[in-house]
Amino acid sequence: MNGDEPSCCSPRLKSLNFPHTPYDLTWVYTKLAFTRDIIVLLLMISRRDFLNSVALWPSHGRYGAQVLPRGVFPVLRPPYTISKQLDLKALSEEVISLYRCGAHGVVWFPSARELTLAEIIAGAEIVMMTANSPVILGVHSANIEFTRLYTRCADRLKPAAIMVSPAANANSMAEHYRIVAGECGVPIMAHVRHGVHIEFVLRMSHQIPALRLVMDTAKHPLSRISEYRRVAPHLSIFTSGQGRILPDALERGASGVMPPASFAAAYLRIWNSCLGGQRGYAIGQLSQFAAQSSPLEFE
C-alpha cells in the first residue's frame, strides 16, 4: 500500500474516486440516503395494502417455502340469467365488488349438480380474468373423470390452488387427490367434512406433497385447528364461514376463512381488526353471526 493513502480507503472508494481522507463519509451518506428512500416508500404503503399483502406471505412447511393463499376468501355463488343460464357478466361484477371491499382472494367452487362442465370452466375463466388477487378453483363432483377434465382446464388458468371436494369414502377421496395431483402443478386444497380424521389428511399430505391446504368444515373446528397445528404444521388451514369463532381460530393458527360472498365485508372487518390487535372490536362484530352456521357453499 502506498504510504500516502490512508488505510481506511477501500478499493470500492478508490474506484469511485472519493477523496482519500481518513474522515471521508461520502459512502456512508450514500447508504443512509438509500435507506431513507426505502423507509419513505414503506411509509407510503397504506394499511389495506399491508393487510392484503399478508395473503401472499410465504408459508414454510415440510416441503419448503411456497407462497400459499391466506386471508378472507369469499365463496362465489353462480348467478343466473332469466333463462337460467350462468350469468358471466354478473359473476365478473361480483368478483370486482369483492376485491373493492378488500377481499384477499375469491373461491369459485360450484357443484357439478348446478352447472355443466363447460359452464364451470367458463365461470373459472371469467373469475381468473377479472381477479387481481389469488383465486382458488374448486371441483365438487363425485365423478372421477369429471374431476380429471376440470383439473386439466383449471391448471391452464394457474390459480393459487385447486380445491377437491370430499368423495363418498376415504378411498375415493384419496383417489381424487391423486388424480388432481397428477393433472396439475399448483397446490391442492383438501375439503374435509365431518367424519374425516385428521390422521387421514396428514397421511395424504405425506403421500401427495402438492396437498398443502385444508378447508375443514367438520364439527369442533377450534380443537381441530389446534390438532392440525400440532401434527401437521406444514398444512395451511382454512375454516368455513363461522364468524363467531374467527378470532379464536386465528389465534390457534388458522390461515384463512371462506365465508359466503354476501358476508365478505363483515368478515374482512373482523380479520383486519384481529391482525391489527383490536380483538375487542372484532368480538363486538360477532353479534352479526349469532344465528349463522356453516355456509351453504360447503354443504
Q: Which domains does the chain have, with CATH numbers?
A: 11-44 (no CATH), 47-298 (3.20.20.70)
In this predicted structure, what is the pLDDT of residue 118? 92
In this predicted structure, what is the pLDDT of residue 201? 92
With beta carbons less than 8 A apart as the criterion, state whether 122 and 86 touch: yes
- Spatial distance between the Cα atoms of 234 and 210, rounded to a whole number of angstroms: 11
44 vs 184, residue with greater confidence: 184
Reading the block at residue 244, the C-alpha cell is 363467531
Is the pLDDT score of 121 beyond 60? yes
* Residue 22 CB burial class (10 angstroms; 0-12, 13-18, ≥19): exposed
In this predicted structure, what is the pLDDT of residue 78? 93
- The amino acid that residue 271 corresponds to is W
Window from 52-61, 237-246, 266-275, 276-285 with minimum mean pLDDT: 52-61
Are β-strands 64-67 and 58-61 bridged in parallel, bridged antiparallel, or unpaired? antiparallel
Is the pLDDT score of 98 beyond 50? yes
- Other beta carbons within 10 Å of 97: 14
In this predicted structure, what is the pLDDT of residue 287? 62
Binned at pLDDT 50, 70 and 90, residue 111 comes out as confident
Q: What is the pLDDT of residues 213-265, one digit of tens each?
A: 999 988 888 999 999 999 999 999 998 866 678 888 988 999 999 999 988 88
119 vs 52, residue with greater confidence: 119
Strand partners, 111: 140
**Structure pTM?**
0.74
Binned at pLDDT 50, 70 and 90, residue 295 comes out as very low
- Spatial distance between the Cα atoms of 159 and 188, rounded to a whole number of angstroms: 10
In this predicted structure, what is the pLDDT of residue 36? 52
Average pLDDT over residues 265-291: 74
- Spatial distance between the Cα atoms of 296 and 84, rounded to a whole number of angstroms: 20
Are β-strands 161-164 and 256-258 bridged in parallel, bridged antiparallel, or unpaired? unpaired
* Residue 116 CB burial class (10 angstroms; 0-12, 13-18, ≥19): exposed
- Spatial distance between the Cα atoms of 90 and 82, rounded to a whole number of angstroms: 12
Q: What is the pLDDT of residues 3-54, one digit of tens each?
A: 444 444 445 444 444 444 444 455 444 545 555 554 544 444 444 444 444 4
Report the percent of the chain where pLDDT is more than 90. Answer: 39
Is the pLDDT score of 212 beyond 80? yes
Look over the chain and give the mean of its residue pLDDT values, rounded to a whole number.
77
Whole-Å CA distances, 191 to 32, 165, 198, 299: 50, 5, 12, 11
Average pLDDT over residues 56-71: 55
Average pLDDT over residues 175-180: 86
Is the pLDDT score of 191 beyond 50? yes
Q: What is the pLDDT of residues 131-146, one digit of tens each?
A: 988 999 987 777 888 8
3-state secondary structure the chain: CCCCCCCCCCHHHHHCCCCCCCCCCHHHHHHHHHHHHHHHHHHHCCHHHHHHHHHHCEEEECCEEEECCCEECCEECCCECCCCCECHHHHHHHHHHHHHCCCCCEEECCECCCCCHHHHHHHHHHHHHHCCCCEEEEEECCCHHHHHHHHHHHHHHCCCEEEECCCCCHHHHHHHHHHHHHHCCCCEEEEECCCCCHHHHHHHHHHCCCEEEEEECCCCHHHHHHHHHHHCCCCEEEEECCHHHHHHHHHCCCCEEECEHHHHHHHHHHHHHHHCCCHHHHHHHHHHHCCCCCCHHHC
299 vs 102, residue with greater confidence: 102
